[in-house]
Copies of this chain bind each other. A is one copy, B any other.
Amino acid sequence: MSLAIEVLPSDVDVALDLLSDALTCPTFDEATFRIELDAQIANLKEEDDEILDYGFRKLRERFFGVHPFAIASDGRIADLEQLSRLDVVAHFERLVTASNVVLAVSGDFDRANLQARLQPLLESGITTKPFKVDQTPNYPGPAETVNVVEVMDREQAVVLQAYPDVGIKDERYAVGEMLNELFSGMSSRLFERVREDKGMAYYVGSSRVVGLHSSMFVFYAGTHPSQAPEVIIEIDAEIARVAAGKVTEEELARCRTRLKAARPMGRQTIGARAMHAAINLTYELPLADDAEHAEKLDGIDATAMAEFAKEFFDVERQVRMIVQPA
């Protein structure tokens, strides 16, 4: 859970008052709760009109099964319909306790003044009861291959192919980043093959649903329904190429450059800078980790990529889903 406030320096007192109120005395008004609940349900229904969102939701469910990651952060309509104001209050009280709060400030502010104002909030405003750490076990991925077709009346079809992936705390997390970069973007071999050589697919790439210890690596493509089988052949061929250690030095260099450049580029706004600090503190990662990250990337070669691919992009634990017209 995160709260973020972005204001002009002259309004910092207002921002601190709002933040304090939100952390120490939220009212959770029943009428507001209902409105937000209805809106969240409405948003989920709206998302289900979009073929890629719909496919991703169905894929998560099939991939993670009973593990909580089966459900995205917006929740599930059936669960929301059961949710009461008291559930939300209880969850808030579990999360907002001094030992579980990370506060990041970025931009044009007076450090001494801000610290003096924040100290009482953090020291006595917020409860200090111990934070109950989540005990959900790690998820190793599905026990067996899943192949499903979901019917949806659209012009396009969507292909999704998912595998278990390492979490943020894993040493090989950066290898996953390199692979995700390798399969994504308009200069990726996969994109070139699918789009330029075959003239198919509206988009193709990869994505990760990332947890501290359990994650999912997803290949996805939007394509003409008649071309879905060919897109799958291309995805599988690309996986096989990586597993055979055939990623070129040029590809590795491009992935490294893009991943290194993405970090400072993604932190140009003060909001993004504060969020980066807050996330790294929450995950117990070093705050200024760009150099360390760059070093990790430089150490990843075609062999490391192949090992990752062979271990994780495993047909035995693969979930493949095609969403297409009847």
Residues of A within 8 A of B (CB): 6, 8, 35, 38-39, 42-43, 45-46, 48-51, 153-156, 195-196, 199, 201-203, 222, 224, 261, 265, 268-270
Contact = CB atoms under 8 A, between A and B. Distances in A.
A45 B155 CA distance: 7
A297 B284 CA distance: 46
A268 B222 CA distance: 33
Contact of A48 (B46, B155, B222): B155
Contacts of A48: 155
B195 A35 contact: yes
A49 B155 contact: yes
Nearest to A50: B50
Contact of A269 (B38, B49, B155, B269): B269
Given A35-B196, A50-B50, A261-B8, A202 B45 contact: yes
A49 B156 contact: yes
Nearest to A192: B35
A6 B202 CA distance: 26
A39 B195 contact: yes
Nearest to A222: B46
B46 A155 contact: yes
Contacts of A222: 46
Given A35-B195, A51-B49, A261-B8, A202 B43 contact: yes
B202 A46 contact: yes
A276 to B, nearest CB: 14
B46 A156 contact: yes
Nearest to A201: B42
26 contacts: A6-B265, A8-B261, A35-B195, A35-B196, A35-B199, A38-B199, A39-B195, A42-B201, A42-B224, A43-B202, A45-B155, A45-B156, A45-B202, A46-B155, A46-B156, A46-B203, A46-B222, A48-B155, A49-B50, A49-B51, A49-B155, A49-B156, A50-B50, A268-B268, A268-B270, A269-B269
A224 B46 CA distance: 9
Contacts of A50: 49-50
A153 B265 CA distance: 40
A201 B38 CA distance: 10
A50 B152 CA distance: 13
Nearest to A48: B155
Nearest to A45: B155
A270 B266 CA distance: 12
Contacts of A49: 50-51, 154-156
Nearest to A200: B42
A204 B154 CA distance: 25
A206 to B, nearest CB: 18
Contacts of A46: 155-156, 202-203, 222
